[in-house]
Amino acid sequence: MLGPGDDAAVVSAPDGRVVVTTDLLIEGRHFRRDWSSGYDIGRKAAAQNLSDVVAMGADPTGIVVGLGLPADAATGWLDELTDGFRDECDLVGASVVGGDITRCDLVVIGVTALGDLGGRAPVTRSGARPGDAVAVAGRLGYAAAGLALFREGLNGPPELIEAHRRPHPPYARGPEAAALGATAMLDVSDGLLQDLGHVAEASGVGLVLDPEAFTIPYAMRDAARLLAVDPLEWVLSGGDDHALAATFPEDVRLPPGWTVVGIVTEGTGVQVRGVSVDHGGWDHFRE
């Protein structure tokens, strides 16, 4: 309703409730300017917040951005960054409604995203029940594979390299899942096993995944052979793709875009049937 130019923006909230989320990205920890353009970083910073909004079953409405920039951040780079914010928001009909900027030794980006539930109940992590189906939407393992290639200085399949630079969250699937009666949902940012572990803990249930349900693309298989790793590890433990994972009552017929990969059970934790895997995922405080 009122964008940048005043002390604060004004954003409509037709539902009467506002979904709010925030994320912080720090150069060298979450991105590198020699690996990603300003435009890529802007898209990535906006995407990981907008994805959290849709994971609640809400429609994103706007973002505000806090920037810390070093002296060597050129004006052209900043223009690319803000273009990235704008273009990612355009995908969901949201706007960049304001922010702040200051001098800093490294590039630091803080994004806060807002969303509207449209009269729906929020989909939390705590509603999964035994017998529910576990399903995912979006890509898994792409960004982790791209990061592994970057770290080894290798040129791999371009879709994997691009996935590390810029995620492609399945934005439409979040509100869709809410309308279908999803019992729990979250954004997969730190690895599927780790993030589903939050659903298991919050809901007081166990989850069993079927490794045969995951489709591993040829590009990822090629990269895995190049690096001598098991690509399933990227799919199960890799972060930064910002897919969605949700649980649904067993009688719900899921539309294209969702893949059933497991079931909710009595018990605790997340297991992968017949496979020994690393449940690590991404941890901000682990070396």
pLDDT tens digits, 161-188: 999 999 999 999 999 999 999 999 999 9
pTM: 0.92
Say how far apart CA 174 and CA 151 lie, in whole Å: 32
At 138, list the tokens: 């979006």
pLDDT band at 284; cut points 50, 70, 90? very low
59 is in an annotated binding site: no
187 is in an annotated binding site: yes
30 is in an annotated binding site: yes
Is the pLDDT at 277 greater than 60, yes or no?
no
pLDDT in the model for residue 287: 46
pLDDT in the model for residue 105: 94
189 is in an annotated binding site: yes
pLDDT in the model for residue 12: 86
168 is in an annotated binding site: no
pLDDT in the model for residue 92: 98
pLDDT band at 279; cut points 50, 70, 90? low
251 is in an annotated binding site: no
Decide which of 258 and 4 is more confident: 258
Angle between helix 173-180 and helix 38-54 axes, rounded to 10 deg:
10
22 is in an annotated binding site: yes
pLDDT in the model for residue 194: 95
Is the pLDDT at 285 greater than 60, yes or no?
no
pLDDT in the model for residue 16: 92
All domains in the chain, ordered by first residue? 19-116 (3.30.1330.10), 133-272 (3.90.650.10)
Say how far apart CA 219 and CA 142 lie, in whole Å: 9
pLDDT in the model for residue 137: 98
Q: 7: Cβ–Cβ under 8 A, 6 or more apart, which residues? A: none
Instruction: Name the burial class of residue 215, with classes exposed (0-12), middle (13-18) and buried (19+) by CB atoms within 10 angstroms of its CB.
Output: exposed
242 is in an annotated binding site: no
pLDDT band at 276; cut points 50, 70, 90? low
Place of tokens 């995407």: 47
pLDDT band at 41; cut points 50, 70, 90? very high
Say how far apart CA 88 and CA 167 lie, in whole Å: 10
40 is in an annotated binding site: no
265 is in an annotated binding site: no
Query: For 211-227, what is the mean pLDDT?
Result: 95
